[in-house]
């Protein structure tokens, strides 16, 4: 039996409520689309819920693997250093929980198609 996987949608966070609300609403829609409650929004900084809060919430729901879906376009410092450090710090107290982080969105070939179609 596979360990239960939870998903964290990670973005930077904004001082503008509308920017943060967009991620919160996206998480609701994604839960409905995928038929799971094991999807949590999280912000790198500025807004709540934070990444540690989202991780703890999924662990409390029985998740033993956390997939961080990074809503970042490029492999910058947050994606390469800061977010992995946060995951590692929180999960050091949960040795049975594994995690992984998605690559930046610009590595997804379908994004190129999407943007090209939008620009046509």
- How far is residue 59 CA from its own chain's centroid? 15
CB-facing half-sphere around the CA of 30: CA atoms within 13 A: 15
- Candidates 104, 103, 10; CA nearest to 55 is 10
> Tell me: the pLDDT tens digits for 57-66?
999 999 999 9
Instruction: Report whether pLDDT(2) > 80.
Output: no
Distance CA 18, CA 9 (A): 17
Catalytic residue among 12, 56, 65, 94: 12
Catalytic-residue membership of 94: no
- The stretch 69-78 carries a mean pLDDT of 95
Across 24-118, where does the E strand assignment appear?
A: 39-43, 65-70, 98-101
- The stretch 32-48 carries a mean pLDDT of 96
Burial class (CB in 10 A: 0-12, 13-18, 19+), 19: middle
* Boundaries of domain holding 39: 5-119
How high is the pLDDT of residue 53? Answer: 98
Q: Is 62 helix (H, G, I), strand (E, B) or coil?
A: coil
The total number of structural domains that make up the chain: 1
Backbone phi, psi, residue 16, to 5°:
-90, 125
Instruction: Report whether pLDDT(1) > 90.
Output: no
> Tell me: the pLDDT tens digits for 12-26?
999 999 999 999 999
How high is the pLDDT of residue 69? Answer: 97
Average pLDDT, the chain: 95
How high is the pLDDT of residue 42? Answer: 98
> Tell me: the pLDDT tens digits for 76-103?
999 999 999 999 999 999 999 999 999 9
Taking a C-beta distance cutoff of 8 angstroms, is the pair 58, 98 a contact? Answer: no
**Helix or strand run (H / E) with residue 9:** strand 5-11
Whichever domain contains 71, its CATH number is: 3.40.50.1400
Instruction: Report whether pLDDT(3) > 90.
Output: no
């Amino acid at each position: 039996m596979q360990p239960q996987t939870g998903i964290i949608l990670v973005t930077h966070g904004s001082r503008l409520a509308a920017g943060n609300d967009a991620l919160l609403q996206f998480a609701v829609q994604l839960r409905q689309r995928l038929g799971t409650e094991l999807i949590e929004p999280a912000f790198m900084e500025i807004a709540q819920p934070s990444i540690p809060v989202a991780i703890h919430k999924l662990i409390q729901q029985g998740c033993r693997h956390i997939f961080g879906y990074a809503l970042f376009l490029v492999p910058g410092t947050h994606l390469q250093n800061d977010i992995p450090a946060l995951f590692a710090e929180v999960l050091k107290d949960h040795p049975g929980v594994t995690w992984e982080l998605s690559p930046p969105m610009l590595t997804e070939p379908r994004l190129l198609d999407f943007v090209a179609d939008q620009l046509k």
